[in-house]
C-alpha cells in the first residue's frame, strides 16, 4: 500500500478489523475518498451475514417454505404434495450460494476498489498500534467491525449437553426427528419454523417476538400452533440429557423434550483476542464497544461499527455505521497533496439516521416493522393513535386464501403523521420499504390513504389501514 510522503510513520490511512457489512462499507467509502485502507480478517471473508446469518438462513427458509406450501396448498383443484427432505442436498446448495456471493459481493468488490483483505488475527498492542499475527501495522485510524457471536445463556446443565447454535444447525446433514429451541427472538423464530417446515417436530421455549406489537405476536402464536409447533412462553431454567432426548425444564417446572437442542438467546460482541483493554477502548457490561454518535470509541483513533458496537443487528445498519465511521475518521486526517478533486469528507460529523428503521423476521408469514412501536411512542411521553387491520379485509389475502395476519399503523394524534408500521403478512418485509419512505417523508395517515396503491397487492393494506383513521366502517374494493 502506498504511503503519503508526509506519512512515513503510517502503513495505511484506515485499518479495518473484520470483513463483513460494516467493514466493506467503510473500505468502499475510504477508497472513494482516495485514501488507503486494509481489511484484516482472521476467519472467512464476508462476516456473519453472508456466511452464517442472513443469506444461509433465508435460502433454507425458502426451501422449507416451498415444501410447507405444497403440504398446505389451499387450492383443492390444483393438488400438490411433498415428501421427505434431503437436508444434505439443501445444505450443499446453500453452501454453493454462499461461496458464490462471497466471491461476487466481497472478494470481487475488494479487487474492483483495489483494497487489500489481509488474513490474520488483529490485536491492539497499545493505543495507537495494531499487530496482525504479531506484525505491527500502523494506521492513522482504526475501525473495529468484528461483528457478533451467539450468546451462551446461563442455563443449568447446558455445558453437559451437545447443543446447536443457528450456525451449526444450518450445517446438519440429517433432519432431527424433534428439536427444542430455546429463545423466541428472530433467530429462534426463523430456526423453529425452518425445521418444522422441513418435517421435524419442533418446540419453542421462550417469549415469542418479545419486541413485536402484541397484535402481531398473538397472530404469530396462532400460526405456530397451526404449524404444529409447541410454544412454552417461559424461561428455560435447566437442561439435561435423558437417554436419547434433551429435556428442557422451564421456570414453572414444565418439561419440553426433543432429540436435539438449539439455543438462540441473542448475540454478543466478538472482541476476543482484540486487546481492547490495551487500546483503551471501553466496553459496556455486555462487552459491546461503546461509541458516540460519530462511531468513535473512547480512544479517539479507534472507531467501531456494526454488531460489535451494540447497534441494531441488521446488516444494513452495520453498513451505514461503517460508512459513517470511515467518513468521520477521514475528516480528522490531513488532506492528500494534489488530490483536490478527490471526494472530501463532510464538514460536519456524519451520523446514522434511524428514522423509519425497518426490520423483518422471515417467518411465514413474515413479521415486519418500520419506525416506532406503540409502546415506544408512549414511553417517549407522546400521544399515540393506532389502527389495526385484519388480513381478512385485504383483497390480496382473500384471493390467496391465506388471511393469517394483521397490519397496524401507529400515528401521532395531533399531526396525524405516521410514526410506525407493523405487519404480520405474506410479503410484509416488502411493504416496509414503502412504510420507511412514508415515515422519513413525514407523511400523515391521510397522505397514505390518498396515495395510489395497486389493487390486489399486499402493500395495498397500508392504504386500507390508513383509511381506518378517518372511517372504520366497512369499505368496498378500492373504495
Residue 208 has pLDDT above 60, yes or no: yes
| Per-residue confidence band for 472, with pLDDT thresholds at 50, 70 and 90 | confident
pLDDT band at 190 (very low <50, low <70, confident <90, very high): very high
pTM: 0.94
Q: DSSP string of 288-348?
A: PBP--TTSB-SSTTEEE-SGGGT--S-HHHHHHHHHHHHHHHHHTSPPPTT-TTSPPPPSS
- In this predicted structure, the answer to whether residue 6 has a pLDDT above a threshold of 50 is no
The four Cα atoms 199, 201, 207, 208 give a dihedral, to 10 degrees, of 20
Cα angle at 47 between 43 and 52, to 5 degrees? 95
Q: Would you tell me how many other CB atoms lie within 10 Å of the CB of residue 376? A: 15
- Judged against a pLDDT cut of 70, whether residue 452 lies above it is answered with yes
Q: What is the pLDDT of residue 296?
A: 98
Of 135-139, 227-231, 463-467, 474-478, the one with minimum mean pLDDT is 474-478
- pLDDT beyond 80 at 151: yes
Q: Is the pLDDT of residue 464 over 80?
A: yes
Q: What is the model's pLDDT at position 344?
A: 56
> Cell numbers at residue 106, please?
466481497
Decide yes or no: CATH 1.10.3720.10 for domain 12-149+269-331. no
Question: Do the first three CATH levels of 12-149+269-331 and 158-265 match, i.e. the same topology?
Answer: yes
Calculate what percentage of the chain has a pLDDT beyond 70: 96
* Separation between Cα atoms, residue 102 and residue 127, nearest integer Å: 32
pLDDT at 326 over 50: yes
The predicted pLDDT at position 378 comes to 96
**Which of 246, 261, 308 is closest to 281 using CA atoms?**
308
Look at residue 4 and tell me whether its pLDDT is greater than 60.
no
Instruction: Provide the 8-state DSSP code for 230.
Output: E
| pLDDT score, position 186 | 97
- Report whether CATH 3.50.50.60 matches the domain 158-265: yes
Averaged pLDDT, 173-191: 98
Write the DSSP assignment of 115-160 as a string of letters.
-EEEES-EEESSSS-EEETTEEE-EEEEEE---EEE-----BTGGG
pLDDT(5) > 50 = no
**Domain boundaries defined on the chain:** 12-149+269-331, 158-265, 358-467
DSSP class of 427 = T
Q: Please report the pLDDT score of residue 478 as a whole number.
A: 77
Above 80 in pLDDT, residue 3?
Answer: no
The beta strands (E) that lie in 139-259 are given as 139-144, 148-150, 178-182, 201-205, 230-232, 236-242, 245-250, 255-258
Q: Looking at per-residue confidence, does 344 or 89 come out higher? A: 89
Question: What number of helices (H) and strands (E) belong to the chain?
Answer: 15, 22
Cβ neighbours for 467, distance < 8 A, ≥ 6 positions apart: 449, 475
At 386, is the secondary structure helix, strand, or coil? Answer: strand
Instruction: Taking residues 331-340, report their average pLDDT.
Output: 77
pLDDT given at position 474: 81
Element of type H or E holding 243: none
* Res 8: pLDDT: 61
Q: Provide long-range contacts, Cβ within 8 A and 24+ apart, for 205-208.
A: 205/180, 205/181, 205/232, 205/234, 205/235, 205/236, 205/248, 205/250, 205/256, 206/181, 206/182, 206/232, 206/233, 206/234, 206/235, 206/236, 206/265, 207/233, 208/184, 208/233
For the chain, the average pLDDT equals 95
Whether 7 has a pLDDT exceeding 80, the answer reads no
Note the pLDDT of residue 1: 39
For residue 9, name the pLDDT band (cuts at 50, 70, 90).
confident
* CATH number, domain 358-467, options 3.40.50.970, 3.40.630.10, 3.40.50.300, 3.30.390.30: 3.30.390.30
Which tens digits make up the pLDDT trace of 365-424?
999 999 999 999 999 998 999 999 999 999 999 999 999 999 999 999 999 999 999 999
Amino acid at each position: 500500500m502506498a504511503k503519503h510522503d508526509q506519512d512515513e510513520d503510517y502503513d495505511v490511512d484506515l485499518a479495518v478489523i473484520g470483513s463483513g457489512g460494516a467493514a466493506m462499507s467503510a473500505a468502499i467509502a475510504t477508497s472513494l475518498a482516495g485514501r488507503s485502507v486494509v481489511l484484516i480478517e482472521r476467519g472467512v471473508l464476508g462476516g456473519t451475514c453472508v456466511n452464517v446469518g442472513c443469506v444461509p438462513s433465508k435460502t433454507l427458509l425458502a426451501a422449507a417454505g416451498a415444501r410447507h406450501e405444497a403440504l398446505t396448498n389451499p387450492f383443492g383443484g390444483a393438488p400438490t404434495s411433498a415428501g421427505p427432505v434431503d437436508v444434505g442436498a439443501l445444505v450443499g446448495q446453500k453452501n454453493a450460494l454462499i461461496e458464490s456471493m462471497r466471491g461476487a459481493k466481497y472478494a470481487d468488490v475488494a479487487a474492483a476498489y483495489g483494497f487489500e483483505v489481509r488474513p490474520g488475527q488483529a490485536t491492539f498492542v497499545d493505543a495507537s498500534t495494531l499487530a496482525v499475527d504479531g506484525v505491527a501495522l500502523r494506521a492513522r485510524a482504526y475501525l473495529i467491525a468484528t461483528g457478533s457471536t451467539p450468546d451462551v445463556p446461563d442455563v443449568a446443565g447446558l455445558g453437559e449437553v451437545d447443543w446447536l447454535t443457528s450456525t451449526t444447525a444450518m450445517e446438519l446433514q440429517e433432519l432431527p426427528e424433534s428439536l427444542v429451541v430455546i429463545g423466541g427472538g428472530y433467530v429462534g423464530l426463523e430456526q423453529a419454523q425452518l425445521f418444522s417446515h422441513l418435517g421435524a417436530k419442533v418446540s419453542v421455549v421462550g417469549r415469542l417476538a418479545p419486541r413485536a406489537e402484541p397484535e402481531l405476536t398473538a397472530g404469530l402464536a396462532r400460526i405456530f400452533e397451526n404449524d404444529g409447533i409447541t410454544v412454552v412462553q417461559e424461561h428455560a431454567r435447566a437442561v439435561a440429557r435423558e437417554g436419547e432426548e434433551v429435556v428442557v425444564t422451564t421456570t414453572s417446572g414444565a418439561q419440553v423434550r426433543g432429540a436435539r437442542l438449539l439455543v438462540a438467546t441473542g448475540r454478543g460482541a466478538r472482541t476476543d483476542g482484540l486487546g481492547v483493554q490495551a487500546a483503551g477502548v471501553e466496553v459496556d457490561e455486555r462487552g459491546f464497544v461503546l461509541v458516540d454518535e460519530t462511531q468513535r470509541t473512547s480512544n479517539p483513533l479507534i472507531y467501531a461499527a456494526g454488531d460489535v458496537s451494540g447497534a441494531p443487528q441488521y446488516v444494513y445498519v452495520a453498513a451505514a455505521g461503517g460508512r459513517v465511521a470511515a467518513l468521520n475518521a477521514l475528516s480528522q486526517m490531513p488532506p492528500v497533496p494534489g488530490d483536490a478533486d478527490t471526494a472530501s469528507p463532510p464538514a460536519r460529523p456524519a451520523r446514522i439516521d434511524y428514522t423509519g428503521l425497518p426490520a423483518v423476521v422471515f417467518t411465514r408469514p413474515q413479521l415486519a416493522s418500520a419506525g416506532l412501536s406503540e409502546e415506544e411512542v408512549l414511553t417517549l411521553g407522546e400521544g399515540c393513535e393506532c389502527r389495526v387491520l385484519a388480513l381478512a379485509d385485504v383483497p390480496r389475502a382473500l384471493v390467496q386464501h391465506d388471511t393469517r395476519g394483521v397490519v397496524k399503523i401507529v400515528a401521532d394524534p395531533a399531526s396525524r403523521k405516521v410514526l410506525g408500521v407493523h405487519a404480520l403478512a405474506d410479503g410484509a418485509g416488502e411493504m416496509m420499504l414503502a412504510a420507511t419512505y412514508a415515515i422519513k417523508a413525514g407523511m400523515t395517515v391521510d397522505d397514505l390513504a390518498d396515495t395510489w396503491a395497486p389493487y390486489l397487492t399486499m402493500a395495498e393494506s397500508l392504504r386500507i389501514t390508513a383509511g381506518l383513521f378517518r372511517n372504520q366502517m366497512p369499505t368496498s374494493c378500492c373504495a
